[in-house]
Structure 1
Amino acid sequence: MHNNLGLHFTTQRLIIRPLEEKDYESWLNGFVNRRPSQYRHDKGQVDMSDATEPWFSALITRQQQAIEADDLYIFGIFDKAHRHLGMLNIKNLSRDNFQWAEIGYFIHNQYWRHGYAYEALTELVKQTRDTLHFHRIEAHINLDNIPSIQLIEKLGFQFECVRKGFIFENEQWTDHYVYYLNTHDDDLQM
């Protein structure tokens, strides 16, 4: 039932694709083996006691429906040994004359500092342009999330603005930086 609509990408070290039923153990281990929080924007260890196989199956169904509706694309990041390293997502903000999306990403903290995020996001940007045909991609980042800012800048995203009171998190409206990349610019090196 769950097809990934051809959204299966590989890099030198990674497999990037929608989650499948067979991923349950690897996906769960990625979360269960997380280290304690390393800094403010790292969730650290996560309670996975409710993440049963039926719950995971329902999650996959919801994600597949979002993909089919062209609303949200969620990808697991796996290494070639099938370890679940993290997740990527592309949220459709607008199609029509805009072709505009937002990206999100995380790598489980036990796999940090191996270049996985950069490798996965480089491929995601390429596929966002070539496969999903988005023209503009945004990343919305907390003002003090320096590692994420450095990563997105390394990928060629440009700072656009600070959106004041942009997202409700930690019981308050929080400012975010907005970075953007126009994927059809002649100087895009992907």
Structure 2
Amino acid sequence: MKTKLFLRGIHLKDFTICSETERLMIRPLQRDDYRNWLHEFESRRPSQHRHDKGRMDMTECTEEWFADLVEKHQDLALNDQAHIFGVFRKEDNRHLGMIDFSTLFRDHFQWGRIGYTIHNQYWKNGYGKEAVKEALQIAFNDLNFHRIEAHINLDNTPSISLAESVGMEFECVRKGFIYEFDKWTDHVVYVKNSES
């Protein structure tokens, strides 16, 4: 992924963001990830709770559609709107899920939002915690964010537990924060700053 970002005052025209942990590789999607990516979405179990999409209709997700998706991710990164990463298991390159950072405001704030999902067939292996913990380091060290927020439904206890497990702290409940489920919905906000 090539991105035009001002990171620590240096303009980087060619900046590839890739990081790894003991078990995982976190990197942008590439075109040749298509079959792996599709297989893992098609292998999802039925929804485990209302915030888990579970099995999805993937019929429109052709190889051409996926190539366009990869290009869209690159454009979002080039414009510093969003930085989207696949989570891959190093031992077999299985696609485990996705992590994304949306830029909320730069200037004197350097403020972003994190989103994360692990395919439900891989739950209860610690992959979510391992991936999000490393991704936060990408946010602070590579993308130069100072503040990262997670916006979570009040009843999404697995997501709240994950945010807490990586050191994010409860900040507030934002009332009527997002329109979903056919109504304006409250969200809990968890936050982590680069110094914490």
User: What's the TM-score, normalizing by structure 2?
Assistant: 0.92
Summarize the alignment of residues 27-66 of structure 1 with structure 2, pairs less than 5 Å apart.
27-66=37-76
Summarize the alignment of residues 128-143 of structure 1 with structure 2, pairs less than 5 Å apart.
128-143=139-154
Runs of 4+ in 1 over 3 A off after TM superposition: none
Query: Which AA in structure 2 matches 1:15?
Result: M
Report sequence identity in percent: 53
Aligned residues: 184
Query: Which AA in structure 2 matches 1:49?
Result: T
1:21 corresponds to: 31
Give the distance between the partners of 1:78 and 1:113, measured in 2 at CA: 16
1:73 maps to 2:89? no
Partner of 1:96: helix, strand, or coil?
coil
Residue by residue over 1:24-65, the C-alpha shift from the partner in whole angstroms, topping out at 9 and shown as x without a partner, is 001001100000011111101000000000000000111100
Cα displacement (A) at 1:99: 0.3
Partner of 1:28: helix, strand, or coil?
helix
Partner of 2:161: helix, strand, or coil?
helix
1:121 maps to 2:132? yes
Partner of 1:23: helix, strand, or coil?
helix
Query: Which AA in structure 1 matches 2:29?
Result: L
- Structure 1 unmatched ranges of 5 or more: none
1:95 corresponds to: 106
Once superposed, what is the RMSD of the aligned Cα atoms? 1.0
Give the distance between the partners of 2:82 and 2:143, measured in 1 at CA: 11
